[in-house]
Structure formats: C-alpha cells, structure tokens
Amino acid sequence: MKRRVRVRTSLCRALRAAVLAGVATSCATHGAPPRVAPSPSAPTPREAELPSVASASPIRVQIADHGSRRVVTLDIDDYVVGCVMAEIGVYGLPPAVAERVLEMQALLCRTNAVANRGRHAQDGFDLCSGSHCQIYRVPDNDAMTKLARRAVASTRGQIVMHEGKPIQAIFHADCAGHTSAPETVWGGSEPYLRARADDFCLRLHTPAWTFTPDRDRLREALNRNPNTRVGHDLRDVRVVARDEAGRASRIELRGEGSVVVRGAAFRWALLQAFGARSLKSTHFTVRRQGGSFVFQGEGNGHGVGLCQLGALARARDGHSAETILRFYYPGIQIAS
Ligand SMILES: [Zn+2]
Ligand SMILES: [Zn+2]
C-alpha cells in the first residue's frame, strides 16, 4: 500500500465528500467497459463521422425517467450543465476552487458531447443520458447549478483537442497515486492517455476498501459473463500481472479449467452482479478466507485519464482548469 498523507482539515473532508457525492454514480468512475480507447483491432471512426467542432447546434438526448424514455432537444450548453452536475459535486468548496473544478468538468463534458455526438443516430437521437455516453440529469435551480451555469458560460465554445480532434475525455474518481494507460486496462491507446504518477490525490486521505464475496456468489457472478465463465467450480483467483500503477491487469480464474482475463473484465463482471460499491478498482490484492474471497484495495474507478480527486486537490492548490487538464491529458490544447 502506498503511504498516504492524512490531512485533517474541513476542506479535505469537503473535497472527499464532493468526490464521493458527485462522482459515485458515474460510470466513468466505476469502469464500464471502454466506451473509448479503441483497440487496434476495433474500427476507428471515419473522418466523416467525426463531429464538427464548430457545431453548436442543439443536441438530442434520450432521457430515461421512471422506466419511460423520451428524447429532448437541448442547447449544447444546457446539456453540459446537466452533465457537469451529474458528474461532480462541489458542495462545501470555497467558491474559487469550485469555479476551477466546474470549469474543468464543463470542458470535459462539452468535449465528450462533441466527440460522441451522433453516436445514437440510428436510434433517432444523439446521446443517451446514461454511462454509455455521458451521464445527464435535468439540473435543479439551486446555487450549485448557478455556479455550474457560470462555469459553462465562461468556457463557452471551448473543448479539449489533440492534433485537431476532440479527445475522448475519460476520467475516474480516485487513481490512488498513479493513473493507468488504456493499453493495460482495456487495450487500445491514445497518445494523450498515459500512465502518470499523481501524488495530489494522496494528499486527501481516502480509506482503503475491502470487498468479501462468498465463493458461490462470486462464481455465479463470473458465470454470468462469457469472458469470465469458470463453470461449476471456483478454486482460486490470482493476480498474474500488474501494470506500472499497480492495477491488476491480468487475473487468472481457476475453476473447471483455468482462464486469464483482463482486470477490467473481471471488475466489470463483479460490478454487474454486486453493484458499484463492490470492487471499486482493480488496484487490489486478493486471498481466500474460508468460504469467501477477500479483496483489499484502494482508489475508485478504472484509473484511466483524469483523476477527479487529484484534480480537486490541484484546484485547491490554485491550478487552473487548463493546467489540470494538461497534466492528465499531456499534449492537448484547449480550442475554441
Ligand atoms: Zn449512449
Ligand atoms: Zn489521482
């Protein structure tokens, strides 16, 4: 385990609470299978499919409401406000820190909107409001939403670009000291998504977590997914490879036979069965204990791209939204 610097201030508690409250519902946090990071074998978008950066035309968003679905047409900045409010919380932060954090998140959400607009064209809308595209919630009219609206207005028309194209602005809640490259998490790569040491999130003590599933329930969870199927038996779970951040990149499942799977695939199978608070990251150790497996880990999310906890700590230190983005996505530009 990495040594953590425990900083006991009310601000730190507020920052942690902000991350936990704001990010906990995000798939970007919890690591759905890659919506980005195309693997070398996956088809890459054709130039004609890439959205026009200049396009600020309204965006059609499918909203799921109490089991029913409807499509609304939104001004892109109204859409970004709803995404910002869904993806990060800034309650309890000093106004100047909150402003920098919200500006950063507005740039991320607008960039993802532009990069992925039209993803659901065949379904009759542009983007869904779930983690598949980007989480969107109809915003309230409270003080935080007003702050978010101001941040969206102050970054109007700006997105994060790499070599003339909008980036896939991937982020997660807490990298626990080192981010990972998509190569070791899902496969595929982007030049602006690299593994980087991040000691800022370590300044805010986040507790290690433990998840202890019963062996039979774990076997059932793994068997629900063809990639992680073990059959009638589950004798052992072993980490056989780690990336430079310490995340389990390859995991051996010994059941009727033996299968080696990506850490992200293993985690995804568990999140589907046990929920978002189960295996919070692939930064864990695992051992058998009686009829259970004990997973002990740190961090929250897949670990690729921007670490929101580190970003909050940087904003608290006075870093601008652009400085923060340049750290987590090296080589990018903010373009209007
Ligand atoms: Zn979608
Ligand atoms: Zn971090």
Closest ligand (CA of 174) = 2
Whether residue 18 sits in one domain with residue 114 = yes
**Distance of CA 266 from the midpoint of ligand 1 (Å):** 22
**Residue pLDDT, tens place only, 46-69:** 322 333 433 568 999 999 878 889
Whether residue 150 sits in one domain with residue 17 = yes
Give the confidence band of 257 by pLDDT, cuts at 50, 70, 90: confident
Write down the pLDDT at residue 8: 29
* Mean pLDDT over the full length of the chain: 85
Write down the pLDDT at residue 21: 41
- HSE of 188 in the Cβ direction (CA atoms, 13 Å)? 16
Whether residue 230 sits in one domain with residue 322 = no
Using alpha carbons, list the distances in angstroms from residue 56 to 64, 120, 121, 268, 332: 24, 18, 17, 35, 21
**Distance of CA 200 from the midpoint of ligand 2 (Å):** 6
Query: Phi and psi of 178, rounded to 5°?
Result: -160, 125
**Distance of CA 306 from the midpoint of ligand 1 (Å):** 21
Residue 105 lies in a domain: yes
* Segment 218-242 mean pLDDT: 96
**Residue pLDDT, tens place only, 293-326:** 999 999 999 999 999 999 999 999 999 999 999 9
**Residue pLDDT, tens place only, 141-175:** 888 999 999 999 999 999 999 999 999 999 999 99
Strands of the 68-74 sheet, one edge to the other = 68-74, 59-65, 127-128
* Segment 129-146 mean pLDDT: 90
**Distance of CA 315 from the midpoint of ligand 2 (Å):** 13
Q: How far apart are CA 114 and CA 151, in angstroms?
A: 18
Contacts from 57-60 at CB under 8 Å and sequence distance 24+? 59/113, 59/117, 59/126, 59/127, 60/124, 60/125, 60/126, 60/127
Closest ligand (CA of 128) = 1
Whether residue 165 sits in one domain with residue 70 = yes
**Distance of CA 137 from the midpoint of ligand 1 (Å):** 14
Tokens 């991937």 locate to 170
Whether residue 145 sits in one domain with residue 82 = yes
Q: Please state the length of the chain.
A: 336
**Distance of CA 132 from the midpoint of ligand 1 (Å):** 4
**Distance of CA 132 from the midpoint of ligand 2 (Å):** 23
**Distance of CA 143 from the midpoint of ligand 1 (Å):** 29
Closest ligand (CA of 130) = 1
What residues have a C-beta under 5 A from ligand 1, the ion?
128, 132-133
Whether residue 171 sits in one domain with residue 25 = yes
3-class DSSP state of 193: coil
**Distance of CA 19 from the midpoint of ligand 2 (Å):** 12
Closest ligand (CA of 126) = 1
- Helices marked H in the chain — which ranges? 10-23, 27-30, 76-87, 95-116, 143-154, 182-185, 215-223, 263-274, 308-316, 321-328
Strand pairing of 159-162 and 165-166?
antiparallel
Write down the pLDDT at residue 275: 94
Closest ligand (CA of 120) = 1
Whether residue 273 sits in one domain with residue 309 = no
- 146 contact partners, CB below 8 Å, separation of at least 6: none
Asked whether residue 110 carries a pLDDT value surpassing 80, the answer given is yes
Residue 327 lies in a domain: yes
**Distance of CA 198 from the midpoint of ligand 2 (Å):** 5
Closest ligand (CA of 173) = 2
Joined tokens for residue 211: 């998840």
Residue 133 lies in a domain: yes
Joined tokens for residue 225: 């997914």
**Distance of CA 133 from the midpoint of ligand 2 (Å):** 23
**Domain residues for 237?**
209-297
Write down the pLDDT at residue 2: 38
Closest ligand (CA of 60) = 1
Whether residue 322 sits in one domain with residue 181 = yes
Whether residue 218 sits in one domain with residue 268 = yes
Write down the pLDDT at residue 13: 46
**Distance of CA 72 from the midpoint of ligand 2 (Å):** 35
Number of domains in the chain: 2
Closest ligand (CA of 311) = 2
Strands of the 209-211 sheet, one edge to the other = 209-211, 292-297, 284-289
Write down the pLDDT at residue 43: 31
Give the confidence band of 253 by pLDDT, cuts at 50, 70, 90: very high
Closest ligand (CA of 123) = 1
Residue 274 lies in a domain: yes
> Are 23 and 131 within 8 A, CB to CB?
no
Joined tokens for residue 293: 């497996």
**Distance of CA 188 from the midpoint of ligand 2 (Å):** 22
Give the confidence band of 39 by pLDDT, cuts at 50, 70, 90: very low
Residue 193 lies in a domain: no
3-class DSSP state of 266: helix
Residue 5 lies in a domain: no
Closest ligand (CA of 134) = 1
**Distance of CA 196 from the midpoint of ligand 2 (Å):** 9
Asked whether residue 15 carries a pLDDT value surpassing 50, the answer given is no
Listing DSSP states for 198-251 in one string gives --TGGGS----EEE--BHHHHHHHHHTSGGG--TT-EEEEEEEEE-TT--EEEE
Residue 195 lies in a domain: no
> Are 166 and 115 within 8 A, CB to CB?
yes
Whether residue 328 sits in one domain with residue 237 = no
DSSP state, 42?
A: S
Whether residue 215 sits in one domain with residue 95 = no
Is 42 buried (19+), middle (13-18) or exposed (0-12) by CB count in 10 A?
A: exposed
> Are 17 and 91 within 8 A, CB to CB?
yes
Whether residue 106 sits in one domain with residue 250 = no
